[in-house]
């Protein structure tokens, strides 16, 4: 059972209560570096699936599911995944076909060992109201040969920024292991969003962020509810094939949006006035992708060298129905209190269609001499086709075709006991982001773009339990954003240069640390900057992120109690294209504890967490310059029972 004042991640993960056998999990003690890891609804590290080194790896298509290529369209049901790991720097070595900006690697929830059942019940606290819960199970059907895991979750409540929300999640995984070296996984799940009003997004009038608002006050329009469904299902097979190993996955992920709205407030003044308010009404949208990968793997050992050769065929077929949205002008407004308007009459326009086909085949080779050196290299060729079919007969229907070579080379060499140098370079191709709602060509998707990355650094094992990583990187991509006419197009080239530090491990018996810092120098070059149409810094980017997580379990790690501290510190964030506006720096502190006990034949976990303990006020900034405030202080109490 779980009691929660739906706080900082709880709204985004409000249907992600602890999964079966989660009472013993701890994201801090399970992290091998500070680059990013999520377990259930807890996460730690510098990066997440939304942002790695200043870019979004999911939007870029840099996602793996059980290690295999997966074109993720939208959020997965937490009923089918145990979490994800961000793989950059040394964490991406020995990982075939890594892409620039790193990878997000998801793991499926699977039945292992004895049967277990988890029950969770959630109720709201003083900062947010709502009730929800979940039931999770892992059930063997034939010993270790066959089993099923899954569950269902639900949430009815209010978001921290006001407005109603209803979430439902379902999902299950069937695992068949007819032999010790054969694995077959079948999974499926869905994530339902209902009555989820569009939160207001603020665009300041001048060079100052919006004035502080009373957080939790509902400023949304009651008729802007989102009704959408995400789904994902697929299969994974891993088995020997002669002297080789077969690894294959086929995945279908998509979303339907019956109704979806954006609430945009332009010209927000320091007195709380709004020059114009606009609702973007949309619906009847669909975005779905069939993707997967087939690999043949050969591994051998000779002369003290471990070698691996992989032949891979990966591809995707993605279809999108979009467009026809309507911009509903509500006129001047205010952010000082609710300004509810009647829903205007409107009819959505006809839909456009976007069709992407991509097929990539390649070879990957790995050579490892233990405690001496390692080399990984891959070469692929991709064939890409994108066709747009506009509903407006006056518009041409463009078709883009491209054949490109993709490659990467990474390596490491041991310099001394516990000290290794690593370096790598890669060239990739990925989808550009879809034009945001504020754009005059909203929802349009540019052709694929080419990306490049180089990185190098040192990894030092201070002792058997503590590791330090220090490195640098440079990533180059075409830069797409809004021009002065609010058209989303390529404005130049963006280069993100950065430094990373990571310290993770056990610094004393029972005391674990996950700490890291990223220093970033993002800079745009090109005609738009030269003509002073935009500034040299990309909108929404930070210059520094620092994180620190400490987990202390007394009695050298054997106490039923443990206490944790999490700190995230961000630099200021660029707020507009002219670089004359910035969101201030902020530091957020979370305090938590765990108490583990046994009762009624179950393993129990009682976990209180005080998110944003000092009630820090801060702003997030989207890549289009929209401001939204961060969640306020919130106390959650989680009670998990694993039977």
Residue ranges of E strands in 487-585: 488-508, 511-525, 544-552, 561-570, 573-574, 582-583
Is the pLDDT assigned to residue 129 strictly greater than 50? Answer: no
Query: How many angstroms separate the CA atoms of 423 and 62, rounded?
Result: 20
Residue-range definition of the domain harbouring residue 366: 2-642
Residue showing tokens 């879809």 = 434
Q: In Å, what is the CA distance from 385 to each residue of 293, 360, 378, 379, 511?
A: 18, 12, 23, 20, 52
Mean pLDDT of the chain: 89
- The H-or-E segment that residue 620 falls in is strand 619-621
- The H-or-E segment that residue 529 falls in is helix 527-530
Task: Look at residue 481 in the predicted model and tell me its pLDDT.
Answer: 85
* DSSP state letter for 625: S
Coil/strand/helix, residue 527 = helix
**Phi, psi torsion values for 529, nearest 5 degrees:** -75, -40
Task: Look at residue 480 in the predicted model and tell me its pLDDT.
Answer: 87
The per-residue pLDDT for range 8-41, each reduced to its tens digit, is 233 333 333 333 456 777 888 888 999 999 887 7
- The H-or-E segment that residue 120 falls in is strand 116-123
Is the pLDDT assigned to residue 381 strictly greater than 90? Answer: yes
Q: Which has the higher per-residue pLDDT, 567 or 641?
A: 567
CATH number at residue 312: 2.40.170.20
Q: Is the Cβ–Cβ distance between 281 and 328 less than 8 Å?
A: yes
Task: Look at residue 603 in the predicted model and tell me its pLDDT.
Answer: 84
The per-residue pLDDT for range 211-246, each reduced to its tens digit, is 999 888 889 999 998 899 999 999 999 999 989 999
Q: Which residues contact 23 (CB under 8 A, 6 or more apart)?
A: 118, 596, 603, 604, 605, 640, 641, 642
| 281-285, 380-384, 430-434, 473-477: least confidently modelled range | 430-434
Could you give the number of structural domains in the chain? 1
Is the pLDDT assigned to residue 403 strictly greater than 80? Answer: yes
Q: Which has the higher per-residue pLDDT, 57 or 24?
A: 57
Task: Look at residue 126 in the predicted model and tell me its pLDDT.
Answer: 38
For 45-72, what is the mean pLDDT?
Answer: 90
**Phi, psi torsion values for 368, nearest 5 degrees:** -130, 125
Q: Any bridge partners for residue 501, and if so which?
A: 470, 517
Query: How many angstroms separate the CA atoms of 217 and 616, rounded?
Result: 17
| 254-263, 481-490, 533-542: least confidently modelled range | 481-490
Task: Look at residue 122 in the predicted model and tell me its pLDDT.
Answer: 62
Is the pLDDT assigned to residue 5 strictly greater than 50? Answer: no
Task: Look at residue 617 in the predicted model and tell me its pLDDT.
Answer: 95
HSE of 6 in the Cβ direction (CA atoms, 13 Å)? 30
Q: Is the Cβ–Cβ distance between 488 and 480 less than 8 Å?
A: yes
Task: Look at residue 241 in the predicted model and tell me its pLDDT.
Answer: 94
Query: How many angstroms separate the CA atoms of 174 and 184, rounded?
Result: 8
Phi-psi region of 162 (alpha: psi -120 to 50; beta: other; left: phi over 0): left
Coil/strand/helix, residue 71 = coil
What is the C-alpha radius of gyration for the chain, rounded to an integer number of angstroms? 25
Is the pLDDT assigned to residue 387 strictly greater than 60? Answer: yes
How is 454-478 classified by DSSP, letter by letter?
Answer: EEEEEEEEEETTEEEEEEEEEEEEE
The per-residue pLDDT for range 166-188, each reduced to its tens digit, is 889 999 999 999 999 999 999 99
Query: How many angstroms separate the CA atoms of 392 and 75, rounded?
Result: 31
What are the structure tokens assigned to 418, written together? 């516990």
Is the pLDDT assigned to residue 60 strictly greater than 80? Answer: no
Burial letters for 413-435: b for 16+ Cβ neighbours within 10 Å, e otherwise? ebeeeeebebbbbbbbbbbbbbb
HSE of 249 in the Cβ direction (CA atoms, 13 Å)? 24
| 15-19, 309-313, 409-413, 498-502: least confidently modelled range | 15-19
HSE of 297 in the Cβ direction (CA atoms, 13 Å)? 17
Distance of CA 546 to the CA centre of its chain: 18
Query: How many angstroms separate the CA atoms of 441 and 27, rounded?
Result: 41
With a pLDDT cut of 70, the percent of the chain lying above it is 94
The per-residue pLDDT for range 298-326, each reduced to its tens digit, is 999 998 899 999 999 999 999 999 989 99
């Amino acid at each position: 059972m779980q009691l929660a004042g739906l706080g900082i991640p709880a709204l985004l993960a409000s249907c992600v209560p602890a999964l079966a056998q989660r009472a013993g999990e701890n994201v801090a003690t399970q992290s091998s570096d500070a680059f990013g890891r999520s377990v259930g609804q807890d996460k730690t590290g510098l990066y997440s699936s939304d942002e790695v080194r200043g870019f979004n790896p999911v939007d870029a298509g840099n996602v793996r599911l059980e290690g295999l290529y997966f074109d993720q369209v939208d959020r997965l049901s937490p009923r089918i995944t145990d979490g994800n790991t961000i793989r950059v720097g040394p964490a991406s070595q020995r990982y075939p076909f890594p892409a620039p900006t790193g990878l997000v690697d998801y793991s499926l929830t699977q039945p292992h060992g004895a049967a277990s059942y988890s029950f969770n019940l959630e109720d709201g606290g003083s900062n947010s109201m709502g009730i929800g819960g979940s039931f999770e199970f892992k059930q063997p059907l034939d010993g270790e040969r066959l089993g099923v895991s899954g569950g269902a979750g639900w949430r009815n409540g209010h978001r921290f920024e006001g407005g109603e929300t209803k979430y439902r999640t379902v999902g299950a995984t069937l695992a068949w292991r007819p032999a010790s070296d054969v694995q077959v996984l079948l999974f499926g799940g869905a994530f339902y969003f209902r009555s989820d009003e569009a939160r207001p997004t603020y665009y300041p009038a001048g060079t100052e962020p919006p004035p502080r608002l009373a957080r939790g006050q509902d400023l949304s329009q009651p008729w802007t509810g989102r009704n959408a469904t995400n789904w994902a299902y697929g299969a994974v097979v891993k088995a020997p094939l002669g002297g080789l190993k077969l690894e294959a996955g086929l995945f279908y992920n998509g979303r339907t949006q019956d109704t979806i709205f954006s609430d945009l407030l332009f010209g927000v003044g320091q007195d709380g006035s709004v020059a114009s308010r606009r609702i973007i009404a949309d619906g009847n949208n669909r975005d779905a992708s069939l993707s997967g990968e087939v690999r043949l793997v050969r591994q051998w050992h000779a002369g003290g060298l471990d070698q691996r050769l992989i032949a891979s065929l990966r591809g995707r077929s993605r279809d999108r129905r979009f467009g026809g949205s309507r911009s509903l002008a509500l006129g001047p407004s205010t952010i000082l209190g609710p300004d509810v308007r009647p829903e205007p009459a409107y009819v959505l326009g006809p839909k456009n269609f976007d069709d992407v086909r991509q097929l990539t085949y390649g070879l990957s080779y790995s050579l490892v001499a233990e405690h001496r050196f390692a080399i990984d290299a891959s070469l692929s060729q991709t064939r890409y086709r994108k066709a747009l079919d506009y509903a407006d007969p006056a518009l041409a229907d463009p078709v883009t075709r491209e054949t490109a070579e993709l490659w990467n080379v990474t390596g490491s060499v041991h310099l001394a006991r516990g000290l290794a140098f690593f370096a790598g370079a890669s060239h990739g191709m990925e989808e550009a982001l879809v034009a945001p709602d504020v754009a005059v060509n909203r929802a349009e998707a540019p052709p694929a773009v080419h990306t490049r990355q180089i990185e190098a650094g040192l990894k030092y094992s201070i002792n058997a339990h503590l590791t330090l990583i220090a490195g640098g990187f440079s990533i180059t991509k075409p830069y797409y954003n809004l021009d002065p006419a609010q058209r989303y197009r390529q404005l130049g080239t963006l280069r993100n240069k950065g430094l990373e530090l990571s310290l993770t491990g056990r610094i004393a018996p029972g005391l674990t640390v996950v700490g890291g810092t990223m220093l970033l120098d993002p800079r745009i070059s090109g005609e738009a900057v030269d003509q002073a149409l935009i500034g040299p810094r990309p909108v929404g980017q930070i210059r520094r992120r620092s994180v620190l997580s400490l987990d202390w379990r007394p009695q050298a790690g054997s106490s039923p109690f443990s206490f944790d501290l999490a700190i995230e510190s961000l630099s200021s964030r660029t707020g507009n294209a002219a670089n004359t506006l910035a969101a201030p720096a902020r530091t957020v502190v979370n305090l938590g504890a765990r108490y583990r006990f046994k009762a009624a034949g179950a393993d129990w976990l009682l976990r209180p967490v005080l998110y944003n303990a000092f009630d820090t006020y801060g702003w997030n900034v989207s890549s289009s310059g929209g401001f939204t405030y961060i969640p306020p202080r919130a106390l959650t109490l989680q009670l998990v029972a694993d039977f």
